[in-house]
Amino acid sequence: MLKPNERCWCGSGLKYKRCHQTADAERLPTAPAPAAPEEKPTRPAMTPQGRPLVAVGRVSPGLSVPPEIARPDYALFGKPKRRFFSRGDSNPLTPDLLLRMRRACKAAAEVLDIAGKAVRPGITTEALDALAHREIIARGAYPSPLNYNGFPKSICTSVNEVVCHGIPDTRSLEEGDIVNIDITVFLDGMHGDCSATFPVGKISSAAQALIDVTRDCLDRGIAAVVPGRPISDIGRAIEALATQHRYGVVRAYCGHGIGESFHTGIYVPHFFDRSAKTIMRPGMTFTIEPMITIGSYECVQWPDGWTEVTTDRDLTAQFEHTIVVTDTGAEILTVV
């Protein structure tokens, strides 16, 4: 059995969890839904080098969603509906779907702005999750990460060396930390996805430079969106800027198509990958979300099955927008 983040056996180039994992799981006997988990540690007590971590957070059960809120297909049992997306699937959205997606993306951007303003020393990532959850519900939306393939929380919070998919917990943010907050909402039948990295109090000049360059990498990637050009142009532009500053670009995770499904077959690498030959066409919607590192771009997953950290435990930052390809370039959808 493949691990979720390994390349799928079918040769699509997608990760197993984004390709055949759901279909393969359907061949197994159906098990009853598990009870809500007890609080448990999410951080290993020691790094692979034997260095103790400063804090060990604990994860409490996910928050409830009112019954009147429309839910994505995986909300109850954790498995997205079986859909077949070929790598590079580039079906443009209809005008109606795009209108609905604008609303979802605007809601996600609003929540990210509110959550980001709450970042300060002493606040826990669990408190940020609760704040974002309330704001998402207040907009009549569902927090897309909640129970997506079993993810236990409503948002992702990735601190310092965490590349992505950090699970909110009881760890208090400390002066000098940096934290990426990743918000995705499901509204009007569409998903909108965005993230940003925030300083916690006063941070080092090295951390601030990383944040600034990562934001610039996102801008450079968006500027590379040109209809009729291959999607590899985006990664080429991002990698060139990151390399200029001697930073690494994470390769294990990429941008993705988005719309009625949280993830579609569009593959958006943030480094130059000549195999990314999908031609950008008006109406295509996808995320651009570069993860930039001070040191190694390689990452390793914690035992929780989600949290990805840099192998050298050095800092990493990320910014993300959902965009739609236009007749002349790209329009950012995740704006307030």
What is the tens place of the pLDDT at every residue in 4-15? 766 665 555 667
For 78-91, what is the mean pLDDT? 65
For 119-129, what is the mean pLDDT? 97
3-state secondary structure the chain: CCCCCCECCCCCCCEHHHCCHHHHHCCCCCCCCCCCCCCEECCCCECCCCCECCCCCEECCCCCCCCCCCCCCCCCCCCCCCCCCCCCCCCCCCHHHHHHHHHHHHHHHHHHHHHHHCCCCCCEHHHHHHHHHHHHHHCCCEECCCCHHHCCCCCEEEECCEEECCCCCCCECCCCCEEEEEEEEEECCEEEEEEEEEECCCCCHHHHHHHHHHHHHHHHHHHCCCCCCECHHHHHHHHHHHHHCCCEECCCCCEEECCCCCCEEEEECCCCCCCCCCECCCCCEEEECCEEECCCCCEEECCCCCCEEECCCCCEEECEEEEEECCCCEEECCCC
Per the document, the length of the chain is 336
Residue 225 is predicted with a pLDDT of 98
Residue 38 is predicted with a pLDDT of 44
pLDDT 10s digits, 110-122: 999 999 999 999 9
Q: Tell me the percentage of the chain whose pLDDT exceeds 90.
A: 75
Rounded to two decimals, the pTM is 0.84
* The pLDDT of residue 25 is above 90: no
Residue 5 is predicted with a pLDDT of 66
* The pLDDT of residue 327 is above 60: yes
pLDDT 10s digits, 255-270: 999 999 999 889 999 9
Order of all β-strands in the sheet with 285-288:
264-268, 255-257, 285-288, 321-325, 330-332
For 209-230, what is the mean pLDDT? 98
Residue 81 is predicted with a pLDDT of 79
* The pLDDT of residue 289 is above 60: yes
Residue 54 is predicted with a pLDDT of 40
* The pLDDT of residue 246 is above 70: yes
Tell me the pLDDT band of 288, cut-offs 50, 70 and 90. Answer: very high
Residue 56 is predicted with a pLDDT of 60
3-state secondary structure 124-148: EHHHHHHHHHHHHHHCCCEECCCCH
* The pLDDT of residue 209 is above 80: yes
CA distance 116 to 292: 19
**By C-alpha distance, which of 212, 143, 213, 221 is closest to 183?**
143
For 318-322, what is the mean pLDDT? 98
Tell me the pLDDT band of 83, cut-offs 50, 70 and 90. Answer: low
**Are 104 and 188 contacting, i.e. CB atoms less than 8 angstroms apart?**
yes
For 132-160, what is the mean pLDDT? 97
Domains of the chain: 91-332 (3.90.230.10)
**By C-alpha distance, which of 222, 288, 280, 231 is closest to 255?**
288
Question: Higher pLDDT residue, 153 or 14?
Answer: 153
Residue 91 is predicted with a pLDDT of 72
**Are 248 and 238 contacting, i.e. CB atoms less than 8 angstroms apart?**
no
Residue 57 is predicted with a pLDDT of 79
Tell me the pLDDT band of 133, cut-offs 50, 70 and 90. Answer: very high
* The pLDDT of residue 135 is above 80: yes
Asked which of 55-59, 152-156, 178-182 is least confident by mean pLDDT, the reply is 55-59
CA distance 56 to 295: 24
pLDDT 10s digits, 170-186: 989 999 999 999 999 99
CA distance 34 to 108: 29
